[in-house]
Amino acid sequence: MGFLDRVSTVVQAKMNKIMDKIEDPRETLDLSYEKQLQLLQNVKRGVAEVTTSKKRIELQKAKLQANIDKLDGQAREALAAGREDLARKALENKAALQAQSASLDQQISDLNEQQQKLIAAESRLATKVEAFRTRKETIKAQYSAAEAQVKVTESVTGISEEMADVGMAVQRAEEKTENMKARSAALDELLDSGTLTDLSGGDELAAELAKAKAQSSVDDELAKMKSEMKR
């Protein structure tokens, strides 16, 4: 596969992914249904047009038949009046109209056959369209239910992830608290053992007081000795 082919494949894949995100299958199904309804409407229109054409030709045939009957009567009247020439003329016109009538009969027969085919096609198409409509609504309902389920699942997943973060934060806080307590206990132990000097000044003050007390005792002892020597 050449470079351009690979680029084309990648672009097509990305476009398909984008289209998959923005395409709503419910809208696609509705559009397909509308197209099928339009096709059904076209077939119905065709049936109506054929029916109208057949009716128009049937009216023409009825008029021809009326003229044929009229010419037949005229021929009989002319023959009764001894006008064979007029009778012949009337019969010739009658024959011409009968030929036209036969042609109209063929057209009516053809249109009737076409009409029946269109009616049958309309019936089959209407059945298919109705079946598609039922299936379409079922698929749309299933898709909507699945979509709602996905949203609920995503919400639950989001809550679970958030609770997991909260749990981790609580765990870290507890660990820090335990570490701080352990450190405090260790410092207290070091202070008690004398390993660590209390920087608060308490021990230093006690030492100064003890030193002052000892000095006072020495001074008292020295004064006592001086008093005894003077005697």
CA distance 163 to 3: 48
Mean pLDDT taken over the chain: 79
pLDDT at 206 over 70: no
What's the pTM value of the predicted model, to 2 decimals?
A: 0.53
Grade residue 205 by pLDDT with cuts at 50, 70 and 90.
low
pLDDT at 103 over 70: yes
The tally of CA atoms less than 13 A away on the side-chain side of residue 93 is 17
The H-or-E segment that residue 132 falls in is helix 84-193
Q: Radius of gyration of the chain from Cα atoms?
A: 58
Of 83-92, 153-162, 181-190, which has the strongest mean pLDDT? 83-92
Grade residue 151 by pLDDT with cuts at 50, 70 and 90.
confident
Closest CA to 187 of 174, 200, 175, 172: 200
Q: What pLDDT is attached to residue 226? A: 62
What average pLDDT does the segment 203-227 reach?
A: 66
Q: What pLDDT is attached to residue 19? A: 47
